[in-house]
Amino acid sequence: MKSVKVQFLVVDCPSLYNCIIDTTTIADLFAVSSAIHLKMKYYTKDGQVATVNGDIAAARRCFEAATKNLHTVVTPKKKKVEQ
């Protein structure tokens, strides 16, 4: 088991994911993730395999909310620049 320092950014926005981890960090941690199963497995300090389980109901609610108005595209109005 090893520790890996990871720099991360906290963003306040709606997302289907609670956490986004890049592939190099997953590889450094010897972790295996499955987006389909909403799971990630990794080794603990004592060598056991731990599993992080996602919340499928929350993921579905977020997906439905995100795709609810896909037929409508809203573009922000540009501000006029005074010269």
**What domain range is 34 assigned to?**
1-83
For residue 48, the tally of other CB atoms under 10 A from its CB is 9
Which residue, chain included where needed, has tokens 């004592």?
A: 46
- For 16-52, what is each residue's pLDDT tens digit? 666 778 888 888 888 998 888 888 898 888 889 999 8
**pLDDT reported for residue 26:** 86
Classify residue 42 as exposed, middle or buried by CB count within 10 Å of its CB (0-12, 13-18, 19+).
Answer: middle
Helix (H, G, I), strand (E, B) or coil at 1: coil
Quickly count helices (H) and strands (E) in the chain: 2, 3
Residue percentage of the chain with pLDDT more than 90: 6
pTM for this entry: 0.55
* Number of independent structural domains in the chain: 1
Which residue, chain included where needed, has tokens 């995100």?
A: 66
Residue percentage of the chain with pLDDT more than 70: 73
